[in-house]
Structure 1
């Protein structure tokens, strides 16, 4: 059964309009329970290789969210030369000013079990894991925007000390590997497009063979 044009547009339009939003406040247009239900929906319904279901998420709100970015600031200052830190510190302050963050993880124990069960695919499991995590993040990001939240995706886990302190602070399992941080809050510009996207020619990026 094919979907109606309206149903398809309802799915595709939010994907087209989604964008990174950095001007965020520490408020939310939806209750915390709705934020949780969106993340739970993504964890439950996004696909994963061999249905391994290795995605994990931690939602940090209000003071816990602020603590996350205090930790990021501390480790950024320790890891970067002073000029680089001074250039990046205002961005961390901007993330801290938002309402919350979703931390996205992959459970290494689940992935290792998949490798043991299927030795022939061991070399590809890590790559497939990242593919799946990206889909989880995108579902939540797009749903948040539909509910009036602005979002931006960060990767401060490039600092191992940051990831280690996050795991310690919130007492997370050792097997959870941090991949990204989705920052969200009420946009200061009401989700208005602050910049125009530019696109490379689609015809140069998509090839079709056998089209009728």
Structure 2
């Protein structure tokens, strides 16, 4: 007969380094142009973060376009002009314009896009899962965007995530000569941190989570 000795669980402190990094990521709505880091270094940081991010079936559906200088300004001019026809009053448009100009005041913008040709190919190749590939591509976008955002924050670069698609999609594709199968999903203006992030509220954990044992 064998005797088994059951030991009590040993208490240990979990590593919270990743949580510390995640908590650095905040929406910075006052980005500036006072960055000393090289443009190529920013691009490499973001590219590395995107390539390190998982996607369903390793489909790698995330695409990114990096806008600096005049190209960055051009994007937000496009947004401002396009929104003028959507805002009902001049006063409301002035408020909208102030918001757009705050993004334009930043150093650059990352456009996030999904390669729909890859999504449609997967739908054809794996019909059993066809209804899921668009959703899985969106999940890949979210992971990649967050990883870039955290990486920027870890280097004291402020950013926010904006969604002026789909009303600017065609204008942006034409302006920056983007492939027709790249679908715009988000815009991330970034720059030096010229103003603090706002307060962040958290919902009650008992309403958000359930633990079953």
TM over 0.5: yes
Query: Match for residue 7 of structure 2?
Result: none
Which structure shows the higher helix fraction? 1
1:95-135 residue CA offsets vs partner (Å, 9 max, x unmatched): 11100000000000000001001111111111111111011
Instruction: Tell me whether 1:126 sits opposite 2:134 in the alignment.
Output: yes
Secondary structure at the counterpart of residue 164 of structure 1: helix
Instruction: Provide the alpha-carbon RMSD of the alignment.
Output: 1.7
Please say if residues 29 and 149 of structure 1, whose CA atoms lie closer than 8 Å, have aligned partners that are also in contact: no
TM-score normalized with structure 2 length: 0.89
Instruction: Tell me whether 1:195 sits opposite 2:203 in the alignment.
Output: no
TM-score normalized with structure 1 length: 0.89
Secondary structure at the counterpart of residue 154 of structure 1: coil
Please say if residues 50 and 148 of structure 2, whose CA atoms lie closer than 8 Å, have aligned partners that are also in contact: no
Q: How does 1:1-212 map to 2 (within 5 A)?
A: 8-83=15-90, 84-159=92-167, 162-189=168-195, 192=196, 194-210=197-213
1:147-166 residue CA offsets vs partner (Å, 9 max, x unmatched): 1111111001131xx21111
- For 1:74 and 1:197, locate their aligned partners in 2 and report how far apart those are by CA, in whole Å: 31
Q: After TM superposition, give the deviation of residue 75 of structure 1 in Å.
A: 0.5
Please say if residues 46 and 151 of structure 2, whose CA atoms lie closer than 8 Å, have aligned partners that are also in contact: no
Secondary structure at the counterpart of residue 40 of structure 1: helix
Q: Which runs of 5+ in 1 are unaligned?
A: none
Secondary structure at the counterpart of residue 210 of structure 2: coil
